[in-house]
């Protein structure tokens, strides 16, 4: 873009008008009273300078960890690391606070490779860069190894919708399995206040009473999986996490997952952003409501049991991951999506399905060649196109 | 000023051209051909350059695709942070901030996975 050629404009001489108002300068930091403020904190409206903000954010995270009794000395904590902003800030903070306050933790990075070309391979590169800078051990578990199905392959069979259902269910188990293999006592994830607020909204919108009972997704720790989890950043606003990373110069990866545009969470997120614009405390308040929710005592809710096939936590005879995999392996990818109880019972009882029933469950149309099953990676070899050496997972994982 | 084709008539009411470094991050750069840093010069015009006008200019001159992911109405889409000289635009008057020569404006999207 060129500059104005007229000498008068370039020289800024007499013909250039004086500014109509003094340049806007930000307010002074309300904490130290000396430096100019760099941000206005969404929850409180206070204006803080860069240094005071960084210090406050770190201190508040430390207090949340202590008050929530999230860790015990000597524990091994697997940090769910995706390469994105939240998990990058989480890993940076946990390492810093562990050193500063002597938590006495063994920290490691745990990444899940869902097999999404163009998305996950790039973000895992960011995790590896973090690993090199931080010196923390890194382990990667992949869907292909664990389940024999990458997300790319699932999406080819399933179509553009419902991919997030598979991915979320598989990731939860993948993190648990990875953590157990690493001997971790706990998993820490980077969920922030916005994530929690969105989950509360989604659970309400879907009438998911089971999850509403469990705190609607809010609350410090989850005991639903095989390994206890915690969310040290659950009170931190997404805006502050982004600015913390920006001011600290942290390197993270950000792109929307290619399968996400249709995800229901996107609607909850858009709603939350509009609510936040009108009243910034809405984000924290939604989490507050979720944590303090209690349900009518006369409600009949699913009981916690174990999956008959893999032993994972489940409220049905088969866990959700096994149901989803069953559908994929049989060429009926929609078996686990939607209410097909009657058809699932038919399959379980060994009865054949009609062509129409198979079609409703997502079977390929007649005449379409069915794909050969993707082989599981052989331990010790590099089967992935990017040549990564995966964590070796025993075939018959049993716990 | 605008493209060298129209004469710029200096008068007390004209705002001088403004050079800026405009940056996009957090995934927002994908709407701008993946380019994060843009050195721009805003041309002379009668109205002073503020963020509101800058957004219109960006939409016309820099944005390559899907404007609804960056702009909503006359402001940025909720979830996009704006920093002016490394300070939160909420402290600087948001859309009404009057741009100064050599200012740095950063747009960071918060809307992607973590």
- Interface pTM (ipTM) of the complex? 0.86
Using an 8 Å Cβ cutoff, are A386 and A122 in contact?
Answer: no
Instruction: Kindly determine whether residue A239 and residue B26, on different chains, have CB atoms separated by under 8 Å.
Output: no
Nearest by CB to B14, which of A17, A241, A246? A17
Query: How many residues does this entry show for chain A?
Result: 399
Q: Which of A122, A354, A36 is nearest to B88 (CA)?
A: A36
pTM, 2 dp: 0.81
Asked if A73 and A119 touch (Cβ cutoff 8 Å), the reply is no
Residue A19 sits at the chain B interface (C-beta within 8 Å): yes
Tokens 């760099």 belong to residue: A38
Which residues in chain A are closer than 8 Å to B92, comparing Cβ atoms? 24, 26
B83 and A CB contact within 8 Å: yes
Q: What is the dihedral of CA A50, A98, A42, B54, to 10 degrees?
A: 50
| B26, B41, B83: residue with CB nearest A254 | B26
Backbone angles phi, psi at A57, to 5 degrees: -60, -45
- The length of chain B in residues reads 114
Residues of B in contact with A191 (CB under 8 A): 114
A3 vs B41, B83, B113: nearest CB:
B41
- Bridge partners of residue A306, in order along the sequence: A313
CA–CA gap between residue A16 and residue A262 (Å, rounded): 52
Q: Is A99 on the interface with B (CB under 8 A)?
A: no
In 10 A of CB B31, how many CB atoms? 20
pLDDT tens for chain A, 399 residues long, are 444 555 544 554 444 444 444 445 678 999 999 999 999 998 888 999 999 999 999 999 999 999 999 999 999 999 999 999 999 999 999 999 999 999 999 999 999 998 888 777 788 899 999 999 999 999 999 999 888 889 888 888 887 778 888 888 888 889 998 999 899 999 999 999 999 999 999 989 988 887 787 766 666 555 566 789 999 999 999 999 999 999 999 989 887 777 766 678 888 988 998 899 889 999 999 999 988 888 888 887 777 788 888 878 888 888 888 888 888 888 888 887 877 777 777 777 788 888 888 888 888 766 555 555 444 444 433 333 222 222 223 333 332
DSSP A31-54: TTSSSBP-EE-TTT--EE-HHHHH
What DSSP character marks residue B44? Answer: P
Which residue of chain A comes nearest to B13, CA vs CA?
A: A17
Phi, psi of A194 (to 5 degrees): -65, -40
A-B C-beta contacts closer than 8 Å: 124
Query: Would you call A252 helix, strand, or coil by DSSP?
Result: coil
Task: Answer yes or no: do B8 and A6 touch at CB < 8 A.
Answer: yes
B-chain residue closest to A119, CA distance: B113
pLDDT tens readout for residues B43-68: 988 888 999 999 999 999 999 888 98
Q: What is the sign, positive or negative, of the torsion defined by CA atoms of B59, B65, B66, B70?
A: negative
Q: Give A243 to chain B, closest Cα distance, Å.
A: 9
User: Shortest Cα distance from B1 to chain A (angstroms)?
Assistant: 5
- From the CA of A144, how many Å to the nearest CA of chain B? 22
User: Nearest 5°: CA angle at A126, between A121 and A128?
Assistant: 90
Q: How many CB atoms lie within 10 A of CB A329?
A: 14
How far is it, in rounded angstroms, from Cα A245 to Cα A230?
21
Taking contacts as CB-CB distances below 8 angstroms, the residues of chain B near A282 are: none
Angstroms from A29 CA to nearest CA on chain B: 11
Residues 6+ apart with CB under 8 A from A357: A343, A346
């Amino acid at each position: 873009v060129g500059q104005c050629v007229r000498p008068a404009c370039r020289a800024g001489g007499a013909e250039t008008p004086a500014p109509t108002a003094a340049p806007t300068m930000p307010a002074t930091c309300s904490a130290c009273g000396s430096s100019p403020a760099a941000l206005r904190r969404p929850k409180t409206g206070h204006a803080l300078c860069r240094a005071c903000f960084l210090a406050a954010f770190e201190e508040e995270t430390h207090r949340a960890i202590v008050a929530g009794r999230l860790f015990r000395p000597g524990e091994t904590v697997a940090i769910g690391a995706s390469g994105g902003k939240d998990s990058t800030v989480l890993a940076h903070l946990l390492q810093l606070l562990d050193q500063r306050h002597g938590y006495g933790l063994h920290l490691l990075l745990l990444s899940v490779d869902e097999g999404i070309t163009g998305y996950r391979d790039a973000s895992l590169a960011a995790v590896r860069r973090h690993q090199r800078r931080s010196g923390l051990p890194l382990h990667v578990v992949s869907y292909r190894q664990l389940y024999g199905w990458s997300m790319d392959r699932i999406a080819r069979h399933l179509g553009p919708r419902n991919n997030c259902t598979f991915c979320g269910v598989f990731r939860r188990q993948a993190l648990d399995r990875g953590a157990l293999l690493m001997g971790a006592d706990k998993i820490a994830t980077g969920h922030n206040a916005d994530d929690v607020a969105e989950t509360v909204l989604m659970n309400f919108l879907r009438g998911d009473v089971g999850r509403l009972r469990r705190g609607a997704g809010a609350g410090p720790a989850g005991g639903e999986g095989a390994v206890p989890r915690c969310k040290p950043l659950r009170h931190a606003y997404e805006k502050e996490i982004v600015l913390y990373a920006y001011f600290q110069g942290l390197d993270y990866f950000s792109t929307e997952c290619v399968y996400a545009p249709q995800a229901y969470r996107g609607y909850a997120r858009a709603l939350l952003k509009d609510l936040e614009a009108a009243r910034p405390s809405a984000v924290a308040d939604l989490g507050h409501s979720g944590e303090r929710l209690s349900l009518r005592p006369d409600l009949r809710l699913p009981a916690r049991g174990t999956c008959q096939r893999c032993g994972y936590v489940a409220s049905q005879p088969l866990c959700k991951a096994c149901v989803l995999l069953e559908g994929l392996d049989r060429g009926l990818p929609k078996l686990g999506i939607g209410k097909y109880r009657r058809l699932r019972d038919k399959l379980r009882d060994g009865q054949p399905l009609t062509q129409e029933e198979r079609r409703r469950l997502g079977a390929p149309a007649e005449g379409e060649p069915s794909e050969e099953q993707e082989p599981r990676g052989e331990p010790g070899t590099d089967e992935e196109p990017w040549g990564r050496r995966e964590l070796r997972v025993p075939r018959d994982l049993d716990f | 000023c605008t493209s060298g084709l129209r004469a710029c008539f200096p008068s007390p009411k004209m705002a001088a051209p403004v050079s800026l470094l405009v940056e996009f991050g957090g995934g927002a750069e994908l709407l701008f051909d993946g380019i994060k840093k843009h050195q721009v010069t805003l041309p002379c015009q009668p109205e002073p350059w503020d963020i509101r006008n800058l957004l219109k200019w960006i939409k016309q001159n820099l944005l390559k695709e899907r404007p609804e992911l960056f702009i909503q109405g006359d402001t940025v889409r909720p979830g996009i942070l704006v920093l002016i000289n490394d300070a939160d635009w909420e402290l600087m008057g948001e859309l009404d901030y009057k741009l100064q020569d050599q200012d740095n404006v950063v747009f960071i999207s918060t809307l992607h996975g973590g």
